[in-house]
Amino acid sequence: MMAVLRILLVLSAFLALTLALLPVQVVALGLGHSIMRRLPRWWHRIMCRVVGLRVRTHGRLSSERPLLLVSNHVSWKDILVLGSVAELVFIAKSEVRTWPVLGWLARLQRSVFVERQERRKTGAQISEVSQRLIAGEVVVLFAEGTTSDGNRVMPFNASLFGAASAALRLAPEGKVHIQPVSIAYVGIHGMPMGRYHRPVAGWPGDVALGPHLLRVIRHGAIDVDVVFAEAIPFDAGTDRKKTARLVEARVRDGLVRALRGELNG
């Protein structure tokens, strides 16, 4: 009964908050007002509290621009988590656009949708991301290309760094900054998250969204560490594949240290 009550309370809070902010965001998008960037962060911060995601940051968002954040990807919750700590734009796979509710929310927060299987559209998609970077927006790339179980970092796809290369021509000083970010789900109800509760954190692609969403809401009180590493300068002479491996290594290091509890010791 308590679990059902919690689910109803979370869903009610989601509807109330979303319906209250929706008209403001729609108008802001239409007018191009800067609040369209701030409003999603407010929404994410409140929803993190409602769902029970307790976010702790280590390090800080780089002040350098243009800035591309590259992170591991564990779950749909990553959007709430990262969106609560900064004003960000997310790169999402095209399928997300058609998802019930989540796709609609992604469009409202101005996500860039990419179709990785259709090469003829790659140029236009990279151009849109690079334009966002040049405009001073912080763009988030989940370079694994899919979600994981939360225990490891899967190989990064170097081709996904194409937006950074495309932005170089118009970037100040001909340089883009790439900042590795690690997301680690480390605790539940104040206790370290062991193997039994790990499915609450991770959302591998073969797990249905609905049941997983309800499981997360039912449990609540999930501790999340967000680890910002130092930003890496990227220019015309930088090797894209080597940079991808370096960023991957730093994201993996942050994840491992967080899961081991080394950041709070």
Asked whether the beta carbons of 259 and 192 are under 8 A apart, the reply is no
pLDDT of residue 24: 95
Residue 249: in which H helix or E strand, if any?
helix 240-259
Q: pTM value?
A: 0.92
Comparing C-alpha atoms, which of 172, 180, 174, 178 is closest to residue 236?
174
Question: How many CA atoms, within 13 angstroms, populate the side-chain half-sphere of residue 45?
Answer: 11
Read off the pLDDT of residues 19-77 as tens digits, 9 standing for 90 and up: 999 999 999 999 999 999 999 999 999 999 999 999 999 999 999 999 999 999 998 89
- Predicted confidence band at 118 (pLDDT cuts at 50, 70, 90)? low
- Give the chain's domains with CATH numbers: 2-259 (3.40.1130)
The CA distance from 150 to 259, in Å, is 9
Read off the pLDDT of residues 177-204 as tens digits, 9 standing for 90 and up: 999 999 999 999 888 887 777 778 887 7
CA distance readout (Å), 137 to 17, 79, 86:
25, 16, 11
